[in-house]
Amino acid sequence: MSTLTLLVCSLVALNLQTSLCIDTFKQNQSFIDGFTLVSSNQRFEFGFFSPSNGSSTNRYLGIWYHNLPLTVVWVANRNYPIYDLFGKVRLDENGVLILYHGSLGSVWSTNGARVASSFACVLQLLDSGNLVIRDDGGNKTIFWESFDYPTDTLLPGLKLGWKLDVGLHRFIRSWKTSEDPADGEYSFSLDPPEAPQLVLRSGSRKLFRWGPFDGSSFSGSTTFTANPLLQTMFVYNYQELYFRYEILDESILSRLVVSSTGLAQYFTWKVNSSKEWNQLVTFNSDPCDNYANCGHYGICYSLSSCKCLSGFTPDSPRDWGLFSYSGGCKRKHELNCGHGDGFVKYNALKLPDNPIVWGNYTSHLCEAKCLENCSCMAYANLDVYRNGSRCVVWIGDLVDLKNYPDGGEPIYIRMAHAELDSIADAKRKRATVKIVSVVTVIGVLLLSCGVVWYFGWIIRHRRKDQIGRSSKSQLSGSFQYVEDNQDSGFQLPLYDLETIFLACNNFSERNKIGQGGFGSVYKGQLSNGQEIAVKRLVEKSTQGVEELKNEIILIAKLQHRNLVKLLGCCIEGDETMLVYEYLPNKSLNNFIYDKPKRKQLTWRKRYHIIKGIARGLLYLHQDSRLRIIHRDLKTSNILLDSELNPKISDFGIARIFGTHQLQDMTKRIIGTYGYMSPEYAMNGHYSVKSDVYSFGVIVLEIISGYKNWAFHHPDHDLNLLGHSWMLWNKRQPLEVLDPVVQDPSYTNQIIRCIHVALLCVQQYPEDRPKMSTIYAMLSYDNIELPEPKEPGFCKKSNTKKVDTSASDSSTVNEVTMTTMSGR
């Protein structure tokens, strides 16, 4: 084909906006903007393009998916755009592909791929999306390929890693913005070659890390190996070290992309059935994958909570008490190299950063060599390169550990002789305790205390039978459950009435700290000095025995730092009481609605409270053994301890959901005016999204210092939700902020919290995010938030308000609204 013919064809293709369906371009030929190559399988297209939104006239030479919405996978001149439609591409006599632009001459080229003059070569777009310059003869030797110089996309077959013989490092780098292909801030690579692991960086700073490779997968991630449609390969030889994957189903398109905001995301498209890309996974969505989240020797658990390795203690207990873990942990006993140091085995961990492969040693020899090196802090047995290399060591402090129960590798960590002795002593003590316990039970209890205990038991149970016979018949099937199940794992202490009376000073008014529809709450102190809060159910309580039974069963089975702790209960005669831990700062409403007190709530403290409530709700909805819907979340049911850590309380009307259950309904609608979601208040439908709505209301109340249902503005009749929505649409969200909060350094964080709150209170439950998404939105600024839709219950209702005058001082509950559906 002559140059003139090619030029004419190119102009025709440009005018008709079509592609010539050829995949090969010959030496000494040129083509201009409008001409494209299409792979023989019709999957990929190569030519000139502009970013998808049309706002830029810049032209780039690149590869994208054919016959799909523009999805670019490779860009040649990413840092050197052409500003008009007069670009030209030529494969010259030396086999170099050159991009020209008018008087500027060469803009980009494959200058490292010169071919000997004896070879005739062609440019071809392969079915894999790889653009190659190859020999036009029978052996089809490849002289240059785009897969050696990827941009922001990892395609099946693309090798992420090194060509060791020529020193070429293949990695992917994000676009500068979603519309600018220039080199961005974030890179994703296999790093380093000494012990390969996947690393996402911002510049030179590590953000996330998965690895090292353990022979079958990368430690800390099963994203690729757990997918039956993928086949992964890890290759190491003298010429290459790389990781790549292949798709086993040819009808599925697949790509891994590093976005301009720093997210490593994996997408698929089902040919002939998908209408858009399906995002299967975001690699760096787990907060525990944040690099060095818990510092040296700290283990990250779910929701970014940290614990020190056994044998270590927080380097700064004060910082850890404030949930700041970056300082890490220190040893309880310092090492003394050559004087008895040894190793302790730890399981179910993501392996730490900076591993080094020492060679093909047995486990015993690897341990011995690590012990000889005073800087060697740990070793593991991993066949990293699948060539028998079993000894991997860590020199220096261990960092970036994560609890990984589903696939963690065993690691042996160096410990001082004193710590090894302590572990051995603990084992001996446990064995001794077992023996002593058996002897004590058989000897002391049967011979010494048996008679005393027996008579005491007779007296105690006779008294209970006399006092509580009438009440136990009434409570059959509710509190009898507590006593009947003490021996079946439901271990909840039963306090006698005399103990509670003494602790609460006979329930004097001076000990009273709260009042609600259930009765009263009293402060008390047990004989051992422990302070308690006692919730005393009155005979005509709006919270009946079923609600109290429900609260006992649920709280006794739930354990989380952001849930109130139930210590026990008392059931004697006509008295039914719950005993809680005492929280000196009472409930959140005592702070947030009190003008003098809320001055103590700086933005940092309010943000800490918001995230604590979110953690507690996430535990109820997703991470606990039971899936709990609270149904009565409000500020008076959020208690604060001495350090203003929030704890969710009052599970009287909470409900347990099945693993796959999405929603339920009831004709008995119980809740609190201003916090109930529209679908629950109007139709009795409730789900996790009902709690999300209540959470959004609480966040806006914390930010503003006003109650939703009591909010008043002279210019309109909107409640707090409607007022916040109006200001958001006016682009004046900060006007809802409590005036006592004056700290401009947190402006973006405050606006983000308002944004998240408005997403939570949207009218329809399907529009509201889940708590796991909400916690991620609050924790990571790089997560893009959708625009919120109009909230439910924006205007003040004409319904008569429930009397809450007695409830504002409650520390455990609040007066709730009970209605019956008319359906």
pLDDT tens digit sequence for 144-189: 999 999 999 999 999 999 998 888 999 999 999 999 999 999 999 9
Residues 190 and 45 in one domain: no
pLDDT above 80 (res 474): no
Question: What percentage of residues in the chain have a pLDDT greater than 70?
Answer: 82
Cα–Cα distance, 17 to 554 (Å, whole number) = 65
**Each residue of 652-711: pLDDT tens digit?**
777 776 555 566 666 567 778 789 988 888 888 888 899 999 999 999 999 999 999 888
Is 265 inside a domain boundary?
Answer: yes
Last residue of a domain, one of 538, 556, 581: 581
Residues 514 and 434 in one domain: no
**Each residue of 412-429: pLDDT tens digit?**
999 999 999 998 888 888
Last residue of a domain, one of 262, 285, 308: 285
535 is in an annotated binding site: yes
Residues 649 and 790 in one domain: yes
Is 291 inside a domain boundary?
Answer: no
Q: Tell me if residue 306 falls in helix, strand or coil.
A: strand
The stretch 360-373 carries a mean pLDDT of: 92
Range of the domain at 237: 154-285
The stretch 115-123 carries a mean pLDDT of: 75
The stretch 46-61 carries a mean pLDDT of: 86
- 124-153 burial, b if ≥16 CB within 10 A, otherwise e? bbbebbbbbbbbeeeeeebbbbbbbbbbbb
Residues 771 and 663 in one domain: yes
Cα–Cα distance, 590 to 581 (Å, whole number) = 18
Is 292 inside a domain boundary?
Answer: no
CATH of the domain at 142: 2.90.10.10
Is 781 inside a domain boundary?
Answer: yes
Residues 319 and 393 in one domain: yes
- Between 513 and 662, the more confident residue is 513
Give yes or no for a contact between 19 and 47, defined as CB atoms under 8 angstroms apart: yes
Q: Out of 113-117, 214-218, 219-223, 701-705, which region has the weakest mean confidence (pLDDT)?
A: 113-117
Is 290 inside a domain boundary?
Answer: no
Residue 813 pLDDT:
34
CATH of the domain at 532: 3.30.200.20
Band (649; pLDDT cuts 50, 70, 90): confident
Is 725 inside a domain boundary?
Answer: yes
Residues 396 and 431 in one domain: no
Is 658 inside a domain boundary?
Answer: yes
Q: Tell me if residue 369 falls in helix, strand or coil.
A: helix
Q: Which residues are catalytic?
A: 632
CB atoms within 10 A of CB 607: 19
pLDDT above 50 (res 501): yes
Last residue of a domain, one of 259, 285, 311: 285
CA angle 754, 756, 761 (to 5 degrees): 95
Residues 808 and 664 in one domain: yes
CA angle 347, 352, 358 (to 5 degrees): 95
Residues 502 and 622 in one domain: no
H or E segment and range at residue 393: strand 391-395
In this structure, the strands spanning 401-403 and 298-300 are parallel
CA atoms within 13 A on the CB side of 796: 16
- Judged on CB neighbours under 10 Å (0-12, 13-18, 19+), 517 is buried
Residues 370 and 486 in one domain: no
H or E segment and range at residue 242: strand 240-247
- Could you write out the DSSP letters of every residue in 519-573? EEEEEEE-TTS-EEEEEEE-TT-SS-HHHHHHHHHHHHH---TTBPPEEEEEEET
Query: Domain total for the chain?
Result: 6
Residues 356 and 242 in one domain: no
Residues 577 and 680 in one domain: no
Contacts of residue 591, defined as CB under 8 A and 6 or more positions apart, other chains included, come to 585, 597, 598, 600, 601, 640
Q: Tell me if residue 271 falls in helix, strand or coil.
A: coil
Cα–Cα distance, 171 to 193 (Å, whole number) = 13
Residues 527 and 593 in one domain: no
Is 531 inside a domain boundary?
Answer: yes
